[in-house]
Amino acid sequence: MTAAPDREEPSGTPAADRRTRVTVLVALGANLLIAVAKAVGGLVTGSPALLSEAAHSVADSLNEVFLLAALRRSRRPADRRHPFGYGKERFFWSLLAAVGIFVMGGCFSFFQGVEALRSDTEESFGGYVAGLAVLGVALLAEGASLLRAVHQARGERGKGTAGGTGALRDPALRTVIAEDGTAVLGVTLAIVGMALHMVTGQVVWEASASIAIGALLVCVAFWLGRDARAQLIGEAADPELSREIRGLLAAQPEIDSVEALFTMKMGLDSTLVAARIDLVPGLDSERVEEVAVRIKRSVAHAVPEVGEIFLDVTDAAAKEAAQSPAATGERGGA
């Protein structure tokens, strides 16, 4: 039997969730403070880029609340109504976070940019200074939150499945990294737009920055939403994990061949496995049951990510005979 690779605290375990919760709380605190500062600065100065960034921070704050709910609810144990557990709660709340980024951040930023082009407002020199100061503080805070999330992702990169992608499988951590990375880039665009507005006197620069922030948020929301959708509708396990499970099954002495293998992610640390296997000849019914139980325990022990295993014992030779031209009435090839 092939040896299973070492796994240390994969993403989705309680310890990893605690670290992710701290990362989300850090991001939430930073976004709340920044949102208030941006909103006050935007209302005082009338800056469209600053107001767009305020909407961005409000959307990020609401999304962090969604992610905290995901971390808490996805750890609930299985029950009669949900026999496979609540792991997919994580993907649902991540989808809501993506929708929040799109609606509250992207759409409002587009609106602010278009309104700025239509109104062609002017700002005082003091307004520019206040706005740039707020954005500078926001850049430092968002950068610190991003460094915290990236540090956690790097620390857990090698602790998941084979291939070292464990940390980024967590939609909560992935969303925080995407939000903070987008926030840093968005604040940079706002600073550039406001600075060019101050130098040239043309509001088109700041309006363009607001529209660019909106486009950036829409792209990030689409990316996060696409991943959450794929996982909600039943995404297969990673190819490395599927190959490992197939290899473990094929290495069992009682299994003659693995005819089919189906996997589906039920959560970060839970994968459903259904396999159609052909056993070696000569096993009676009682022996088949014992073998099936032993194989399930062996695979579950070697691959902790596997939550449920279903084995369908089939006769490959009989199946091939049933599908032959003689059995089906079809004409065979020459």
Per-residue tens of pLDDT for the chain, all 334 residues? 444 444 444 445 667 778 888 888 888 888 888 888 888 877 877 777 677 778 778 877 888 888 888 888 888 888 888 888 888 888 888 888 888 888 777 887 888 788 878 876 666 666 678 778 888 888 888 888 888 888 877 776 555 444 344 445 677 788 888 888 888 898 899 889 888 888 888 888 888 888 898 888 888 888 888 888 888 888 888 889 899 999 999 998 888 889 999 999 888 778 899 999 988 887 777 788 888 888 898 888 888 888 888 988 886 554 544 444 433 344 444 3
Distance CA 55, CA 50 (A): 9
Distance CA 298, CA 311 (A): 13
Phi, psi dihedrals of residue 77, rounded to the nearest 5°: -70, 160
Tell me the pTM: 0.68
Rounded to whole angstroms, the maximal C-alpha distance in the chain is 90
Instruction: Return the residue matching tokens 């194989």.
Output: 295
Instruction: Return the residue matching tokens 């464990």.
Output: 166
